């Protein structure tokens, strides 16, 4: 266990994590139904800002580059299974309040919408770490749509927040879970954003700083 200090906080790694109980199929179904009851009608769009960009879960009939305002992408959610372990937790992306975020909007196929949404809920909501939310999303063609996004729940223990570079560099160097390492996950997302001419410059700069810390 290591402890890192800044001028205003102290962080112990690995953290003491409690993700709570996994949601049951009935709870997943209820969460999905509650979310869809707030949809304003028309096509159902999904906003993808992380691994959904390069590994989408749903069948879609249209994809456009898009941006949401009021939220930004950050490595703010602990991962104790997919990109890390309880002994060496990793991090995954989430939408947190403030700023803006580029990504993709997928218009979901209406013919198998329920199955697509359930697959999405099973992937994103095994634990209630996110809050499904309808986002105001501007598409690349200039139009605005209501798009489903998964927003971080700040009050839960699985919320890591904006960690210092010294700790993030340690996590990028060591955390690995069922689906690979945190570093690979970040690199795949950065590569996907670059390949579509919408790089996340803040994330790029932070990734370089953390790499340089490990090399120093």
Catalytic residues: 124
Distance CA 97, CA 162 (A): 12
Answer whether 49's CB lies under 8 Å from 150's CB: no
Distance separating alpha carbons of residues 199 and 207, to the nearest angstrom: 12
Q: Please report the beta strands in the chain, taking only residues with DSSP state E, as ranges in sequence order.
A: 2-5, 10-13, 45-48, 60-79, 90-108, 130-139, 144-152, 176-177, 180-181
End-to-end CA distance of the chain: 22
Contact assessment for residue 94 and residue 25, using Cβ atoms and an 8 Å cutoff: no
- What one-character-per-residue DSSP string does 102-135 give? EEEEEEEPGGGHHHHHHHHHHHH-SSTTEEEEEE
Q: Which two tokens stand for residue 40?
A: 């304003």
The number of helices, as runs of H, and strands, as runs of E, in the chain is 6, 9
């Amino acid at each position: 266990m290591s402890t890192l200090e800044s001028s205003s906080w102290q962080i112990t790694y690995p953290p003491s994590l409690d993700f709570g109980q996994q949601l049951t199929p009935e709870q997943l179904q209820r969460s999905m139904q509650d979310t869809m009851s707030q949809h304003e009608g028309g096509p159902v769009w999904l906003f993808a800002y992380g691994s959904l960009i390069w590994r989408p879960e749903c069948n879609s009939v249209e994809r456009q580059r898009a941006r949401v305002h009021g939220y930004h992408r950050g490595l703010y959610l602990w991962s104790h299974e997919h990109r890390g372990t309880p002994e060496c937790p990793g991090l995954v992306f989430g939408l947190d309040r403030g700023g803006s975020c580029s990504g993709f909007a997928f218009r979901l196929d209406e013919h198998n919408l329920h199955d697509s949404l359930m697959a999405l809920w099973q992937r994103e909501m095994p634990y209630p770490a996110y809050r499904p939310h309808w986002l105001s999303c501007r598409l690349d063609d200039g139009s605005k749509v209501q798009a489903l996004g998964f927003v971080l729940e700040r009050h839960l223990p699985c919320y890591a927040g904006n960690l210092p570079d010294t700790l993030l560099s340690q996590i990028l160097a060591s955390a690995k879970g069922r689906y690979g390492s945190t570093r690979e996950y970040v690199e795949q997302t950065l590569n996907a954003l670059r390949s579509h001419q919408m790089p996340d410059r803040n994330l790029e700069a932070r990734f370089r700083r953390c790499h340089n810390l490990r090399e120093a």
